[in-house]
Amino acid sequence: MHAEPPAETDADAATPPAPDAATPPVPGTPVHRAGLPTLVLGAIGVVFGDIGTSPLYAMKTVFAIDDGVVRPTADDVYGVISLIVWSLTLVVSVKYVLFILRADNDGEGGVLALAHLARQGLRPGGRRWRLAMLLGVLGASLFYGDSLITPAISVLSAIEGLEVSTPAVAHLVVPVGAAVITALFVVQRFGTEVVGRAFGPVMVLWFAVLAALGIGPVLRDPAVLLGLSPHYAVLFVLRHPLVAFVAMGAVVLVITGAEALYADMGHFGTRAIRVAWFALAFPALTLNYLGQAAEILRDPGTSASPFFLLAPGWAQVPLVVLATLATVIASQAVISGAFSMSRQGERLGFIPRLTIRQTSQSEGGQIYAPAVNWLLFAGVIVLLVAFRSSERLATAYGLAVTGTFLITTTLFLFLARTRWAWSTRRMVAFAVPIYLLEAVFFAANLTKVATGGWLPLLVAGTVCTLMLTWSTGRDLVTERRRKLEGPIGPFIDWLHTDPVSRVEGTAVFLHPDNRTTPLAFRENARFNHVIHENVWIVSTTSENHPHVPDEERVVVDHLGDPYDAIAHLTLRFGFQDDVDVPAGLRLAAAQGHDIDVDGATYFVSRITLHSSDRPGMSRWRKRVFLGLARNAASPVEYFRLPIDRVVVMGAQVRF
């Protein structure tokens, strides 16, 4: 038998297996207690940063792609502006803001939350049920790829504006970009409430400047408004199909950030996001793109940097400063979304246990994940140094975004059909235009695989492999551990017949379920021949919705005998709740259960894992699982246990 070096993990205290997606959701407490104006301001500051800074590089990239295959002629400009406006309309306004935001998993969004909503209407264990979860994992993996590229391309595109007015400082772009990125990730620990409050006014100013820069050229050349007609996009495709196809690979840059918009729903709420989009972000973006188109029609040479050349010479340096602030904020949308996505993945059994910090007293979805933050930071810095310009990074952008779009549309259609009972006609009316547009975007970006598009695919493939490996390995370890533990019933019967002494105090054993015996409990009784006068076996379950109200959090099972002072207590948490075991025990004590929370001793079973030749997973994946297990968060910190009252007892498991 071959064995790898052991990895230590607190498997008895591990997050429980993913809940049955068929379980009906339990209504949660209201998540957003702040007023609508405050939430709208925060949403502008966090949610729309990514999509709001696309004017910096989107139009420039369209006319630079393949050494100028899209020309600054009237036909091409009108075709491009029509494609841009209708992409924003169909994908962002219609699909995401009007429809996808309705897929509200008790206040939370994101592709993993959507996957679980979709599975609720499917037969558990069936082919489509498994497909929905696989699509959710793949979509989350693609989102992480987007989370790496967005900060790098956004910040670089803003700082590159210095080259327009002062070409001599071009060599400072990357160092300044690295400094800005570092500052962005350092402030994440203060939370999206503080960040959003600080960024909101800046982004309001940014969108006002976008509109102001665009409206002048539009007023000078009102004919550019003809580009709002969709028939120009159709004519562009019919007259120059290959050119239009290539252009779509860059046009997609105007809608990057739409998936982050959905993932950030839990931070600010659906209503605030809709108001912010239709009242400010969408009109400002449309005006700016029209202004850039008018400027290119007036002077084709401005296609090299149409955004910054909208401003007069005296305003270009201040505009670079504002754009840099805006792109820092743009990165916030995907970073906040990555935090939410990571906590959902961890609670659903696809990511090792994470240290999560709640950053707001009033908004349940506002969190900070230190490990995710610094992993993203390292990846962004590597991309910044490796690609060194927004134009090069643009070739890597798009595949992650468009792949996530297609997955989100598919999962939404599962949900609409099975949960909302949409008719076939309604399904077709929604699916045909959206699928067609997104499929063209995806296909156009496939042409960029060799020139940088491989990057998001590599990131997504790696993350997807890690997530599926953790899920499979966790199931294998759970199966092996249960065999070692043995059923709880016979063990309690043995306690009643064997001369085991009772000692004063309350013992809390963290354990995944009430079917088997916690190893720490078994070892303490068999070798020390003592148990505490009050024994509580405590499990935490992650429900298939973000929040569980206090009155439904505690479930007690006396394990067949209400008088032997040995009971099982389940603490139910939503995947966005803070898993605080002592707080849950205080809630149980307040409900009348005999628990001395302040004097309880917490027992944790530290299981040392060994890889073996047992079937179930290949050897290299077992090595990966062991590495992930070593880096899982400590159960003491994860479950908020008092460190001075924790006892760790060990065991070994081969899987």
Q: Are residues 16 and 158 both part of a single domain?
A: yes
Output the DSSP codes for 541-582: EE-SSS---GGGTEEEE-TT-TTSSEEEEEEEE-TTS---HH
* Confidence check: pLDDT of 13 > 60: no
Tell me how far apart the alpha carbons of residues 159 and 152 are, in angstroms, rounded to a whole number: 11
Is residue 320 scored above 70 in pLDDT?
yes
Same domain, 567 and 465: no
Out of 65-74, 493-502, 633-642, which region has the weakest mean confidence (pLDDT)?
493-502
Is pLDDT of 193 > 70?
Answer: no
Residue 90 lies in a domain: yes
Q: Determine the structural domain holding residue 503 and report its residue range.
A: 487-654
Is pLDDT larger for residue 398 or for residue 492? 492
**What's the pLDDT at 408?**
92
Beta bridge partners of 493: none
328 Cβ neighbours under 8 A, 6+ residues apart = 154, 155, 180, 183, 184
pLDDT band at 4 (very low <50, low <70, confident <90, very high): very low
**pLDDT tops 80 at residue 548:** yes
Same domain, 465 and 591: no
Residue 7's pLDDT band, with cuts at 50, 70 and 90, is very low
Tell me the average pLDDT of the chain.
Answer: 82
User: CA nearest 36: which of 261, 269, 206, 199?
Assistant: 269
What pLDDT shows up at residue 19?
38
> With 80 as the cut, is the pLDDT of residue 332 above it?
no
Residues 539, 645, single domain; the answer is: yes
> Are 407 and 544 within one domain?
no
More confident residue, 307 or 260: 307
Say whether both 530 and 381 belong to one domain.
no
Cβ atoms of 210 and 55 within 8 Å: the answer is yes
Which residue, of 440, 471, 502, is where some domain finishes? 471
Please state, in angstroms and rounded to a whole number, the distance separating the CA atoms of residues 101 and 113: 12
| Domain-embedded: residue 31 | no
When pLDDT is averaged across residues 555-583 and rounded to a whole number, the result is 85
The pLDDT value given to residue 23: 33
Q: What is the CATH number of the domain that holds 624?
A: 3.40.50
- Decide if pLDDT at 24 tops 60: no
Q: Give the domain CATH number at 376.
A: 1.20.1740.10
* Domain identity same for 416 and 453: yes
Best CA proximity match to 380, nearest among 138, 51, 146: 146
Out of 36-50, 218-232, 361-375, 524-538, give the one with best mean pLDDT.
218-232
Orientation of helix 111-119 relative to helix 399-418, angle to 10°: 30
Residue 564: pLDDT band with limits 50, 70, 90: confident
Q: Are residues 414 and 291 in the same domain?
A: yes
Residue 463 lies in a domain: yes
Q: How confident is the model at residue 10 (pLDDT cuts 50, 70, 90)?
A: very low
Q: Tens of pLDDT along 496-541?
A: 777 788 888 899 998 888 888 888 888 778 877 888 889 999 999 8
Give the chain's domain count: 2
Residues 498 and 631 in one domain: yes
pLDDT of residue 11: 41
What pLDDT, in 10s, does the model give residues 437-457?
A: 999 999 988 888 887 778 888
The pLDDT confidence band at residue 270, using thresholds 50, 70 and 90, is confident
- Is the pLDDT at 153 greater than 60? The verdict is yes
Query: SS3 of 502, please?
Result: strand
Indicate whether 154 pLDDT > 80.
no
| CA distances in angstroms from 493 to 360, 395, 560, listed in the order given | 47, 66, 10
CB-side exposure of 72: number of CA atoms within 13 Å?
21
Alpha helices per DSSP H over 423-503: 424-446, 454-485, 488-497
Tens-place pLDDT, residues 639-648? 889 988 988 8
pLDDT band at 207 (very low <50, low <70, confident <90, very high): very high
448 and 545 together in one domain: no
Residue 476 inside a domain? The answer is no
Q: Does the structure show a pLDDT above 90 at 229?
A: yes
2 has a pLDDT exceeding 50:
no
